[in-house]
Amino acid sequence: MAFHSVVCIKQVPDTTQVRIDPETGSLVRKGIPSVINPFDLFAVEAALRLRDEHGGTVTALCMGPPQAEEALRKVLGYGVDRAVLVTDRAFAGADTLATTYTLAAAIRKIAGARNDQKAAGNEGGEAGPRDADGEPVDLVFCGKQSIDGDTGQVGPGLARRLGFSQLTYVCSLLQIDPEKRKLRAWRQREDGRELLEADLPVAVTITEACNRIRYASLPDLLAAADKKIDTWRADDLDAERGRLGLKGSPTRVNRIFAPPVRQRGETVGEPGMEPAAVAALLFDRLSERGMKPGVARA
Amino acid sequence: MPEDRPKISKNSPDDAARAGKDAAQDSSTAGGEVWVVVEQVAGEAAPVSWELMGEARALAEALGVRAAAVILGAGAPELARQAFSYGAAAAYTGSDPALEPFITDPHCQALVDLARAHQPQIILLGATTRGRDLASAAATELETGLTADCTHLEIDEAKGLLKQTRPAFGGNVMATIITPNHRPQIATVRPGVFPLPEAAAEAGGEIIESRPAITAAAAAVRQLQFLPNPGEESLMGAHVIVAGGRGMRSAHNFALLEKLATELGGTVAASRAAVDAGWISQRRQVGQTGQTVRPLLYIAVGISGAVQHLAGIQESDVIVAINSDPDAPIFDVADYGIVGDLFEIVPALIEEAHARLSGAAGSDAAGERQIGVEST
Amino acid sequence: MSAATSRYDAIVVGGGPAGLAAAYTLAKGGASVVCLERGDWSGSKNMMGGLIYSQPTGSVFPEFWREAPLERHVTRRDMWLATGDSAIKLSFETADFAVEPYNSFTVYRSSFDKWLSRQTAAAGALMIRETLVEDLLWDGGRIAGVRTGRPQGDLEADVVIIAEGVNTFLTEKAGLSPCPPRAANVALAVKEVLALPKERIEDRFDLDPGAGAAIEIIGETTGGLPGTGFIYTNRDTISVGVGVLLDSLVDNRAEAYNLLERFKQQSQVRRLIQGAAPREYSAHLIPEGGYSCMPRLYGDGVLVAGDAAGMVNAINSEGANLALLSGKMAAETVLACRERGDFSAAALGRYRLLLEDTVILKDLRKYDNATKFLSTHHHLFGLYPELMAALAREFLTVDQLSKAEKERLLLKLFRSQVPTRRLLKDFYQAWRALT
Ligand SMILES: Cc1cc2nc3c(=O)[nH]c(=O)nc-3n(C[C@H](O)[C@H](O)[C@H](O)COP(=O)(O)OP(=O)(O)OC[C@H]3O[C@@H](n4cnc5c(N)ncnc54)[C@H](O)[C@@H]3O)c2cc1C
Ligand SMILES: Cc1cc2nc3c(=O)[nH]c(=O)nc-3n(C[C@H](O)[C@H](O)[C@H](O)COP(=O)(O)OP(=O)(O)OC[C@H]3O[C@@H](n4cnc5c(N)ncnc54)[C@H](O)[C@@H]3O)c2cc1C
Ligand SMILES: Nc1ncnc2c1ncn2[C@@H]1O[C@H](COP(=O)(O)O)[C@@H](O)[C@H]1O
């Protein structure tokens, strides 16, 4: 039995290069290369492996500016079957609530839902948010978090909005039972790992421990180049304007500022000093900071 | 409660709204409270919950309202008592078989019901794998703002808003976020950000019991098995981390780091180079494509300090670097740098730690931070 | 469709100016073409001083200046003869260069090549990145495709255009290279990009808003080694660098990086870059062997273009424009051959004829001896600038000596350093080699 997975990928600035301009206090983003959120590549790989094993389709979905098409083109090269970019000025400034609202609307459309009410209201007879290629979605994959927003909120938010089961921080996808429509996976927790079973449809977020993205084959890369990327705007979705982008975002950024910079600290010990003396010096320094070697384990 | 205080918006298509109305009937409390959702496993609370309780109390005082704990699942009376001792004036409890063990969906339903019924203005949760999940789900259901991983919380006295400060862009930027027009304002906070408050011996409070209305849909996810970390402490909550890089040269040499970590009551982690070399499990990787850690003490051994690695350790309280190359970039972020051969330095550190430990056991002055926590 | 079995009319190896011009022209001409680039992006592994010229660039990518990411149009070209603390400056500036389509621009290769590659993709060429071509596929004596480092990585085509740049690994594999690149034939260029606010650059270099300067410096800047230093103004950065023949670096046990540091310390240079913050550092090779070091340009099923074909005019530091033009001609040749379905060496030989008619071969022939001359005449870079500066300094210093006495003194100084016959010979040879 074949499954239809949607993988949500986000294009993010290479955060290792993002800085606050010390003079203007504003974010310096110009000239900073965009990359696919690294965790999302683990999600892509997870979806591809599932497809390679059971057959089906993988659709990549990205909300972002037009140039985010690059990210989608890249994952097409890994063998993703279909790519959808939702892009519109109306989406700008979205926080996670508005993002999940938009992505959920896109996923519904990908799943082939149609909204007759809105289509009827459409003057030009254009059948609103109806997707001819629509196909029910069994799984939504997300990265465990994005490296710019760093929230990990979009995956659970999507599960909620779509009414899917929620399975986050998955560190190992075990198996899927096509008959009973159940997925088993290990989930990473602070105190251990838990084996969970979830009914499909399910929204899964994937951690780095899950897999490594494949090295795309040349035929996949060549095929990717010919694929069309569907681009949808706000009007193509069954979505209320007021719930999109900044308007639909309950949170506001009040202020941004540079974090206190880590200063180069002190060099402990000198060349040629006995290691034991260096060690003693270090522990002295640490206890000056109020840190003492802890109570040893029993 | 001021008249113009924004109301919780209802998420129309959901049956939770209906459940919310039912729950509202047994509500007698004032609303506008500051809540902490207590995270617990089998009746034992995660320390972050009490760290947050202390903070919630301070925020509640600034707002002139009550701080309250939300205890869903087992162990309610005892946990409520603890919550009171850490500063809660009230505890909302809810018990249902579906709440044990923790699965997000039923907890979300229960929390959303309570929030609709009692209209808190702030809800705080630990930024843990569970807290983050529950917060996201509940905030979506309540259609309100959620700020993740806050490192500082403050009440804007003039507007009565919660100012939530958090790192973004891999820690290169700090942002203060507000939720001006939606309630509740929800935030998650990582463990260890706020100090554990002093527990008051005799403290009481009001217990508000409820019967969460949990739908069958909540059974869509089931826990089949749980494997506690086998001796290896998770990186996520670790207070001391000893991390090794390519300089370790072999898997075998990581035993050295294990030893040091054991002495300090910490755990071992690694750079990607060490993970890629197969010396240690990927679960121990720190950095941009690994985990972000926030220990009190991070000791980087034989790690050069590539930006991708630094992205994961920026928020450590104290960083110690041991590297033979004096120009290694790790020294630019290290509070204490030791230039030398790790195979000489680390054994010396193990001995010194051991010696100090046997001398100092049990004599820690109150209030002093310890490296490492007692593990049971 | 199974892409594995699909054949292409042409494969272009390398996504630099030469490869992109070839792929673009082929795609525009209706051929199916794949361009393979090993870097993340075209340009990601490239660096250049760098100037690109409007006419040749525009002849491949029409009206590129309207949209391409360009830094500044160059209105001033300087040539300095410098010692550690002095410089004789020759400056040419014209308003003609300040009007569309302009004469030349400073560019960042990373963003400029990326733009070219976008245009090429938009024209219909298939751009495949992060893919290393490891080998050529042969069908008897004919080149039939390439082998990449990817899984199922073989790709076939009627013709392969090699535009791999200065490291001529595949050109050699194709059996076209007459002289493997030796240290004597390549220069190593190291470059630093320094950030400085736009207005400060314009003030400092005395430029109209948006206009730029290119400065070439001979002398002390390279520590007396054969090579030049350069300064180019970008929008809000300055590129400074030095290029030195590799063998002289090796012979003199010099480190390119130290040369660059020394260059930046030169009094007049230092003033221009003062307070500018380092942004990035890069190094790249330039083939400077000239005409006699060029490989055979064609074979059965294969053509070579750009740096891979040794097409660099070292004297005027032009390479990108030759790369663009040669890539275009290679593509035009393939398009013509495609009509007749004949990709034999005999048919592809037309490429060489096309090139004969262009500035490329004419200039390369003309300057063929230049590099050899420069590499054997180190004193042109060390001694002569010193002498010239001494001369100027002495002449312009007003003191107790009469001008006649000064002349006598300088002549003596000159003679003591360079025998007259040598001087005459140098100038004659320089004239022959460089003009
Ligand atoms: C997209 C991307 C994501 C990445 N994500 C991560 C990530 O999440 N985490 C991560 O760590 N890296 C990540 N990397 C890799 C990162 O760029 C570095 O390659 C990696 O961190 C290097 O690991 P290292 O410091 O252990 O090794 P090296 O850089 O090789 O450093 C080894 C160090 O050990 C020192 N040393 C050697 N012998 C001794 C000795 N006897 N005594 C003392 N010191 C010694 C050396 O001086 C050197 O400084 C990522 C890279 C990319 C491109
Ligand atoms: C410091 C410096 C200053 C310069 N200044 C100027 C100037 O001002 N004006 C000017 O006109 N010229 C200048 N040049 C010269 C100019 O940069 C080159 O002549 C020009 O880039 C040549 O283009 P190309 O396409 O032949 O080669 P390249 O630009 O080198 O492109 C070759 C491409 O092929 C790729 N490649 C190589 N091998 C493989 C493989 N096996 N598989 C896949 N991909 C491969 C490479 O990654 C590269 O992207 C300068 C050069 C330098 C170094
Ligand atoms: N704009 C977006 N488009 C597509 N997917 C997204 C977007 N934002 C977030 N995601 C997905 O949600 C995950 C978690 O993101 P975040 O909640 O921002 O940390 C990411 O790893 C992506 O899989």
Condensed to tens digits (0 to 9), the pLDDT of residues B258-285 reads 999 999 989 999 999 999 999 998 879 9
Whether the CB of C277 is below 8 Å from some CB of chain A: the reply is no
Across B268-272, B321-325, C312-316, least confident range: C312-316
Residue of A nearest to C111 (CA): A31
pLDDT over 80 (residue B252): yes
CB A198 within 8 A of CB B220: yes
Residue A132 pLDDT grade (very low, low, confident, very high; cuts 50, 70, 90): low
Distance C378 CA to ligand 2 centre (A): 27
Per residue in B170-186, pLDDT (tens digit) is 778 889 999 999 999 99
* Angle in degrees, 0-180, between the axes of helices B47-63 and B76-85, rounded to the nearest 10: 50
Per residue in B331-345, pLDDT (tens digit) is 999 999 999 999 999
Upstream peptide bond of B230 is cis (omega within 30 degrees of 0) = no
Average pLDDT over residues B313-324: 92
Average pLDDT over residues A22-36: 80
Q: A222, A227, A228, A229: which to substitute to probe chain C, counting the most C Cβ within 10 Å?
A: A222
Question: If you take atom 17 of ligand 2, which residue's CA is the nearest one?
Answer: C48
Residue B146 pLDDT grade (very low, low, confident, very high; cuts 50, 70, 90): very high
Average confidence score pLDDT of chain B: 85
Which among B135, B170, B217 has CB closest to A16? Answer: B170
Distance between CA atoms of A253 and B165, rounded to whole angstroms?
10
Question: Cα angle vertex B274, ends B269, B280, to 5°?
Answer: 60
Residue of B nearest to A36 (CA): B289
Residue of B nearest to A194 (CA): B226
- Interchain proximity A267–B339, CB inside 8 Å: yes
Across B325-339, C86-100, C336-350, least confident range: C86-100
Distance between CA atoms of B267 and B241, rounded to whole angstroms?
5
**pLDDT at residue A120, rounded to an integer:** 34
Q: Of the segments A86-90, B368-372, C368-372, which one has the largest average pLDDT value?
A: A86-90
C3 or C256, higher pLDDT: C256
The ligand minimizing its distance to the Cα of A35 is 1
Per residue in B289-301, pLDDT (tens digit) is 777 788 889 999 9
Distance A154 CA to ligand 3 centre (A): 5
Beta bridge partners of A293: B371
CB B76 within 8 A of CB B95: yes
Strands A192-199 and B221-228: antiparallel
Q: Which amino acid is located at C67 in the chain?
A: E
Element (H or E) spanning B90, and its range? strand B90-94
Distance between CA atoms of B284 and A248, rounded to whole angstroms?
38
pLDDT over 70 (residue C316): no
Strands C104-106 and C72-82: antiparallel
Average pLDDT over residues A13-41: 83
**Which residues 81-110 on chain A approach chain B with CB closer than 8 angstroms?**
95-97, 100
C219 or C349, higher pLDDT: C349
Question: Which residues are near ligand 2 (CB < 6 Å)?
Answer: C 13-19, 36-39, 42, 45-52, 132-133, 163-166, 170, 189, 191, 241, 243, 284, 286, 306-308, 312, 317-321, 323
Residue A164 pLDDT grade (very low, low, confident, very high; cuts 50, 70, 90): very high
Q: How close C276 comes to chain A (CA, Å)?
A: 16
The ligand minimizing its distance to the Cα of B273 is 1
Whether the CB of A216 is below 8 Å from some CB of chain B: the reply is no
Q: Of the segments A127-141, B58-72, B358-372, which one has the largest average pLDDT value?
A: B58-72
pLDDT over 60 (residue C113): yes
Q: Is any ligand 3 atom within 6 A of the Cβ of residue A155?
A: yes
- Interchain proximity A218–C126, CB inside 8 Å: no
Distance between CA atoms of C16 and C308, rounded to whole angstroms?
11
CB C103 within 8 A of CB C54: yes
Q: How many CA atoms lie within 13 A of B332 on its CB side?
A: 9
pLDDT over 80 (residue B96): yes
pLDDT over 50 (residue A286): yes
Average confidence score pLDDT of chain C: 85
Average pLDDT over residues C314-327: 84
Per residue in C195-250, pLDDT (tens digit) is 999 999 999 999 999 999 999 988 866 667 777 889 999 999 999 998 888 887 88
Per residue in A48-68, pLDDT (tens digit) is 999 999 999 999 999 999 999
Q: Hey, how many other C-beta atoms are within 10 angstroms of the C-beta on B211?
A: 13
Across A44-48, A96-100, B63-67, B210-214, least confident range: B210-214
Upstream peptide bond of C56 is cis (omega within 30 degrees of 0) = no
Per residue in C321-346, pLDDT (tens digit) is 899 999 999 999 999 999 999 999 99
**pLDDT at residue A196, rounded to an integer:** 97
Residue B43 pLDDT grade (very low, low, confident, very high; cuts 50, 70, 90): confident
Q: Is any ligand 3 atom within 6 A of the Cβ of residue A239?
A: no
Comparing C-alpha atoms, which of B155, B211, B218, B157 is closest to residue B187? B155
Distance between CA atoms of C303 and B182, rounded to whole angstroms?
66
Whether the CB of A174 is below 8 Å from some CB of chain B: the reply is no
Q: How many CA atoms lie within 13 A of B246 on its CB side?
A: 9
Tell me the domains of chain B and their CATH numbers: 7-210 (3.40.50.620), 230-366 (3.40.50.1220)
Residue B371 pLDDT grade (very low, low, confident, very high; cuts 50, 70, 90): low
Per residue in B154-211, pLDDT (tens digit) is 999 899 999 999 988 877 888 999 999 999 999 999 877 788 898 888 788 999 999 8
**pLDDT at residue B19, rounded to an integer:** 40
* Chain B partners within 8 Å of A105 (Cβ): none
